Amino acid sequence: MPSRPVIPQLVWPLSDRGLAQRFMDLASLAFVTGDEPHARQAFFGDVDAIDALVPAEGEVERELVQDGGDRQLLVRGDGWHLHLVLVRRRPEVQALVTACTAEQADAVIDHVKRAVPPPERPEAQSRLTMWTAGVGGSPVRHRRWVDAPRWAAIERNYPGDVQEALGRLMGMTTAPASGGRLVLWYGVPGTGKTTAIRALSHEWRAWADVHFVLDPEAFFGGPDYLMHVVAEDDAWELRPASSTGGRWKVLVVEDADELIRADARREAGASLGRLLNLTDGILGHGLRVLLLITTNEPMRGLHPAVVRPGRCLADVQFRSFSHSEAVAWLEGQGAGAGENATLAELYRARGDLETIANERRPDSVGNYL
């Protein structure tokens, strides 16, 4: 029988690591030393409490509560330890079991899985994952529920041809087996692009998860951040996959004007190349990833490589309402509609939007304080 490896004495300087990280070191100590050589790990999303996950026969040895609601428990049982970490901002629970035997490790982690409450899925909301580059090369994700209207409730907010194109997208039950991976939405501000994204997250919730990239310059600026997001499996929640065998990710990049303008190759360097490679190049091959980009640029201002045939799954121009379309939308409510009114302008004309402002006056010339 091979001898147990010699573990050097642990030295934890007080200056270089926080208490939360030291707690995690302590939780894995029995595994590192070989006293409990069997380990099991699991992640659970949409869980905001951990007391109910503790087995009845377990005893809490240590507890750490941090500002913001993050919490850790170290639970000891007969021949096993359970480490539970609650990350409130996501919310997410991480569970680590170390045990003397594989059977004990399996039994404890199975108990935790059975004790996790099923995720709540409010009908009027969808969960979005938001990514930032973080620090030290470690991307950070935040999850939150947002109001997500049904497409049937908002489709009249889009002019006829826009409504028709969006309706075909909203009605998709899975991503196409072939074709482009880029969903391109462009148009002037106030035409409802962001609201349509929230509706899409609801209509596609059975087969796709929506991820917002909050810092696209960093995301496309280097391969590490990009690959971390597109290749990471969402193992934090065991959810049913789509009929094609797996869930898809929809990566959303809003207001990506600088990345996809006609002069983007000169201005953004390699970022445009990575964007294109993700949609139909070797980088995106085999990944269940769709890229949804919104921009305020007109069609003529977009880089030709972005809009070439075969790259776009959808190419939708969000436009303003014509006078007759605006009159029909207002249904006699509010002020009269002008020509080429955006959706935001129609809401304001109907009295749904109000801005606190004083009267604008031309600046006087030659007056000094």
Separation between Cα atoms, residue 105 and residue 111, nearest integer Å: 10
Phi, psi dihedral angles at 51 (to 5 degrees): -60, -40
Domain boundaries in the chain?
A: 19-115, 125-318
Q: What is the DSSP letter of 189?
A: T
Q: What whole-number distance in Å separates Cα of residue 73 and Cα of residue 286? A: 39
Element (H, E) at 221: helix 216-221
Which of 74-112 are b and which e, b meaning 16 or more Cβ less than 10 Å from the residue's Cβ?
A: bbebebbbbbbbbbeebbbbbbbbbbeeeebbebbbebb
CATH assignment, 125-318:
3.40.50.300
Question: H or E segment at 80?
Answer: strand 80-87
Confidence (pLDDT) at 268: 52
**Overall average pLDDT of the 326-343 stretch:** 80
Instruction: Report if pTM > 0.75.
Output: no
H or E stretch covering 29: helix 29-33
* pLDDT > 70 in the chain, percent: 77
Task: Give the residue from 21, 43, 37 showing the smallest Cα distance to 96.
Answer: 43
Whether 281 has a pLDDT exceeding 50, the answer reads yes
**Architecture in CATH of 19-115:** 2-Layer Sandwich (3.30)
Encode pLDDT of 213-262 as tens digits: 998 888 888 788 888 888 765 543 444 444 345 789 999 988 877 766 65
